Structures are given as structure tokens and as C-alpha cells.
């Protein structure tokens, strides 16, 4: 099954080996993505700060001249949590170390890699991040899956794991009405017996946290007698 990427998908390739960069760019372009290439670590943050339409994904080489990939990954995560990051590393052993550092990268690819693999991983990461990234009447609500955080216009909502799950499930299907029972299934995978009141109390807390940041917006609505739905737009 092939999926055509959305026209505005842009991918930034940060890679100092010109051959690799060109190969990856060719394959991504061939799959319908726009790409931009930067070959020096010191130029990345400046470029991202200035560009009007930021890329959805950065392919980030670990070893770079200037600022290294680790530092860049941290900074991108911090400043633009909506941008997905796939780290490119030269050695398989590096991945263990990187995972331990909890950089929040969305994926890791080891060199040498096939450009096809890069395209497949890029697609998977973009599909995931688009599903969770939503615009609420011009404002941003972003779920950072790696850190279990939800950011409303960049501010951490401070959700508990259960609240995060609830929000995630509803955000994946905007406008769909979820019965309390369905939400319970998602909240508790071990099918513990919880009452519908428990769901109400979690939803109430979740709504309160959102209202603290966006008092004028009601994005999680109760549907009388049925359950709840996520409705980002009026």
C-alpha cells in the first residue's frame, strides 16, 4: 500500500557526508517529500528559527562538524516539540547509548542504511506525529508520546498517565463520541473493574488542566447520556 505524502511535508536532512545526503534526498524527493539539506551542525538551529514553514521531520546525523547531533536533538525537542527527529548513527552500539540518554528522538537508523528504509521510517514517523498533532482554532495542542507530555501552545499540561491516554485516544478521532466504557478500555489495559464515575473524574481533571491554559476553549465536550468527544474547532 502506498500513501501519497501530504504536499507540505518537508524533511530537513542534517548530514555532513554529501553522498549520503544526496542519496537520501533523491529517494525522499522521489516519494513526494520536499527536502532541505544542511551539512554543518552550527547552522541547524538558526535555519529552523528563521524558516517560515518548519519541516515536520529532521533526519539528524549524530557526528557532525560543529554542534553535534545529540545537542541538536535536545534543542529541537525543547524548542519545537512538533518536529519529529530520526537520528542517523554510524554504529549499532550507539543506539543503546542514545536510548539510555532519553533524547526523545522518534526513531534511530544505523548506517549503512538503504535509502528505502529511510523513506519507510520517515513515513511511519510522520504518520504518527501527524495523528497526534492538531491545531485548535489556531492554537497548538501537541502530544509528545516519548515523554508522555501534552503541550498546549508549548506549555506542559502536566497530565497523569491516565489523563494522557484519555486525551490521546480522543485526539486520534476528532469529533467521534466515545462512550465511557470505550474510554475505560483504553485507560486500563488490564481490564480492571473501574466505575464510569472514575472515567468522569479523570476527564474532569483533564478538562481542568486544559482550561487552566485555555480558559475560553472547551475542546473536550461531554455528550449527555453518552460520553465524551474531542472537538478542536467550533
The binding site for Ca ion (CB under 5 A) comprises 16, 61, 63
Residue 6 or 90 having the CB closest to Ca ion = 90
Nearer to Ca ion, 14 or 206 (CB): 14
Contact status, residue 87 vs residue 105, Cβ threshold 8 Å:
yes
Distance CA 164, CA 184 (A): 13
CB 87, min distance to Ca ion, A: 11
The residue number with the shortest CB distance to Ca ion is 63
Q: Are strands 84-89 and 107-110 parallel, antiparallel or unpaired?
A: parallel
CB of 11 to Ca ion, least distance (A): 17
**Cβ proximity to Ca ion, 40 vs 204, nearer residue:** 40
Sign (positive or negative) of CA dihedral 23, 81, 232, 180? positive
- The CB-of-70 to Ca ion minimum distance in angstroms stands at 13
> What's the min distance (Å) between Cβ of 103 and Ca ion?
17
Indicate the residue among 16 and 43 with the shorter CB distance to Ca ion.
16
CB of 191 to Ca ion, least distance (A): 48
Residue 124 C-beta: closest distance to Ca ion, Å = 23
Amino acid at each position: 500500500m502506498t500513501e501519497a505524502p501530504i504536499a507540505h511535508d518537508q524533511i530537513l536532512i542534517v548530514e555532513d557526508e554529501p553522498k549520503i545526503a544526496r542519496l537520501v534526498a533523491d529517494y525522499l524527493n522521489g516519494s513526494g517529500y520536499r527536502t532541505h539539506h544542511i551539512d554543518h551542525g552550527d547552522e541547524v538551529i538558526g535555519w529552523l528559527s528563521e524558516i517560515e514553514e518548519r519541516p515536520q521531520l529532521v533526519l539528524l546525523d549524530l557526528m557532525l562538524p560543529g554542534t553535534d547531533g545529540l545537542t541538536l536533538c535536545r534543542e529541537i525537542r525543547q524548542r519545537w516539540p512538533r518536529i519529529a527527529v530520526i537520528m542517523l548513527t554510524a554504529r549499532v552500539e550507539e543506539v543503546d547509548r542514545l536510548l539510555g540518554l532519553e533524547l526523545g528522538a522518534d526513531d534511530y537508523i544505523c548506517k549503512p542504511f538503504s535509502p528505502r528504509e529511510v523513506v519507510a521510517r520517515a513515513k511511519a514517523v510522520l504518520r504518527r506525529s501527524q495523528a497526534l498533532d492538531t491545531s485548535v482554532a489556531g492554537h497548538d495542542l501537541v502530544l509528545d508520546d516519548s515523554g508522555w507530555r501534552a503541550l498546549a501552545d508549548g506549555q506542559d499540561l502536566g497530565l497523569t498517565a491516565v489523563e494522557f491516554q484519555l486525551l490521546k485516544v480522543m485526539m486520534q478521532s476528532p469529533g467521534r463520541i466515545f462512550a465511557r466504557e470505550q474510554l475505560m478500555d483504553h485507560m486500563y489495559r488490564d481490564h480492571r473493574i473501574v466505575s464510569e464515575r472514575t472515567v468522569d473524574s479523570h476527564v474532569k481533571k483533564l478538562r481542568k488542566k486544559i482550561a487552566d491554559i485555555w480558559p475560553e476553549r472547551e475542546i473536550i465536550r461531554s455528550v449527555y447520556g453518552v460520553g465524551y468527544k474531542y472537538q478542536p474547532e467550533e
